[in-house]
Amino acid sequence: MEEKKRYQEIKELLLEYSHEYYVEDNPTVEDAVYDKYMQELLQIEKKHPDWVTNDSPSRRIGGEVLEGFTKVRHGKPMLSLANAFNKEDLLNFDRQIREKVGEDREYMCELKIDGLAISLTYENGQYKQGATRGDGTIGEDITENLRTIRSIPMKLKKPYSIEVRGEAFMPKNSFKKLNERREEEGHTLFANPRNAAAGSLRQLDTKIAAQRNLDIFLYAVSDFGEMGVKRHSDGLDMLHSLGLKTNKERRVCQTMDEVFAYIEEWTEKRTQLDYDIDGIVLKLNSLSEQREMGERIKTPRWSIAYKFPAEEVRTVLERIELNIGRTGVVTPTAILDPIFIAGTTVSRASLHNEDLIHERDIRIGDTVVIKKAGDIIPEVIRSLPEKRDGTQVTFHMPKECPACQSELVRLEDEVALRCINPKCPAQIKEGLIHFVSRNAMNIDGLGEKVVTQLFSHQFIKDVVDLYSLSKEKLLDLERMGEKSVTNLLDSIEKSKANSLERLLFGLGIRHVGAKAARTLAIQFDTLAALSKASKEELTEIPDIGDIMADSIVTYFSNDEVHELMDELKKAGVNMTYTGPKPAERAHEELVFSGKKVVLTGKLTRLTRNDAKALIENLGGDVAGSVSKKTDIVIAGEDAGTKRENAEKLGIPIWREDDLLNYLPDKVEKEIEGD
């Protein structure tokens, strides 16, 4: 049949053009030619839907809405890597290798891509399944979302049945465009390309994943030996010959001096790449020597990851701006000559307080050194006095609030200066931003820029005004279209049903964080009951001390607060605790009683807040970092250094499923969707 023959020709052409563009980076036709053939393919497939196969280029554009992600057991565990932070660590690794396999060893050095570890399964050369790493043994089935990554071939050039491992990532340019679009729409920005990639691959709407322009590098097969190769480097060459995308910046090194030269080269050149790397991976090149070295429970003995030190750059501190937080604290912020560091352009950095500025001798006009804590948060770590030319100016905090001109005060035992005017417009605006934030009322679409617009247009003066916003008003705002306005109003309406602890945290009572808000909500059940509590009643509650109790009593002694409560109630905002109650086991010790628990990695069935609440209900205390005092680490997908630290310290590591065993039946059913 002539039309079917034409269909097969177009399909093969598109697959070849896609490979040239996305894998070889060497397109042979213009985009317009590709688009023309794609449109012809889509027209034929619309006419003959029964001709469509899984390897059709049309499956790349997404559109399927998934019900959820099922679990996948890897044929062979996807191990994590032990870390090295300096030359000494690497030399120690090399010594252990030489002691086992001899002096005549060679290493494959590869860039460590900062993305999401995934596996691809092919049967007889056809793409069958894609999955996340998960806990190394069990991951999530993200087959359809991975299908939208154009550099993943749907058909290998030879009919191998293999499981390939690699790293999915978001190129820097795609990340920049995504955040620009999210900022325009008032959504929360992704912190870095890695988070954006992970979030994209966990979208239930595959069309969203397709729009994110992800990419991939493949770096291993679950068992290279099945492919008849003897060296890891030959295995990577074979992957490339099959049509799989590998990273070309790899190098075989015969000596540690060559390894160190490779590391030094890419430490300097990493910012020139269009994707983030956070280190260098060192692997024994001989597959037989890899088998001889063997594996630990979670990491191979034949490979190690060298992690880059925090990047430091120099720039000029042009001026210092003052920001007023929702509690009135005035924080100085450095405005910098924009500089590219650790994957993003930085133009602002916190200076914390005046004492720190003077302690580090930082002056306006100074050349300063910037680094990103954890490659995320920019910080001015020191000035370079030798670069001064006499034009630099010593900074002093003002005596009056820059927003309302009220006198700034320094409260006892505090370093920061504070504006104590309750009608300070800057504090009101920051309070609104806090109220709609993720851990408070979680109103999606109400980012800082949208709140600022609403406030400056005088559409909102306090949190109650959020619940009377109209479509007409919102459409008047810059960059707010019909769809984004509808979504925002739906999110505002949805927030009315939040459990009390979210509202309580959102109100911004001084010293009351998210954990204390939940404790208070469980204890008093309603906002009305809490508002009548005495200091004595409050301090009887565990973790509620004198300072917090005084703050709560003072807050509810204000008539304006009770007016606010009445107005929120009239607007339909829930004021009752609707979350899970603590387990009632007076006759037995709770499973986490007295234990310090650390959560790390991506949880798939619980939100981080729900997991935290469950642990606290069962008597545990959730900490943010791993130490010798930690009793249990609960590790989700892509758990990083916290899990590694736990392994080194011999701390028990649970999976998310282990935690779910302790869920109350009601909550378990809600999670399962019954």
Annotated catalytic, 496? no
Nearest-angstrom CA–CA distance, 638 and 36 = 40
Nearest-angstrom CA–CA distance, 529 and 523 = 10
Residues 6 or more apart whose CB falls under 8 angstroms from that of 408 comprise 330, 397, 398, 399, 400, 401, 417, 418, 419
Nearest-angstrom CA–CA distance, 115 and 519 = 37
8 A C-beta contact, residue 426 and residue 436: no
8 A C-beta contact, residue 370 and residue 378: yes
Pairing label, strands 367-373, 417-419: unpaired
Nearest-angstrom CA–CA distance, 552 and 556 = 6
DSSP letters, 488-530, are HHHHHHHHTT--HHHHHHHTT-TT--HHHHHHHHHHHSBHHHH
Question: Which residue bears the tokens 């810059």?
Answer: 478
Q: Using the CB atoms, write b or e for 620-641: b if 16+ within 10 Å.
A: bebeeebeeebebbbbbbbbee
DSSP letters, 37-66, are HHHHHHHHHHH-GGG--TT-GGGGG---B-
Question: Which residue bears the tokens 């889509």?
Answer: 42
8 A C-beta contact, residue 14 and residue 58: no
List the beta strands (DSSP E) in 546-613.
Answer: 596-600
Of the residues 112, 371, 612, 642, only one is catalytic, namely: 112
8 A C-beta contact, residue 503 and residue 527: yes
8 A C-beta contact, residue 652 and residue 592: no
Q: Which residues are catalytically annotated?
A: 112
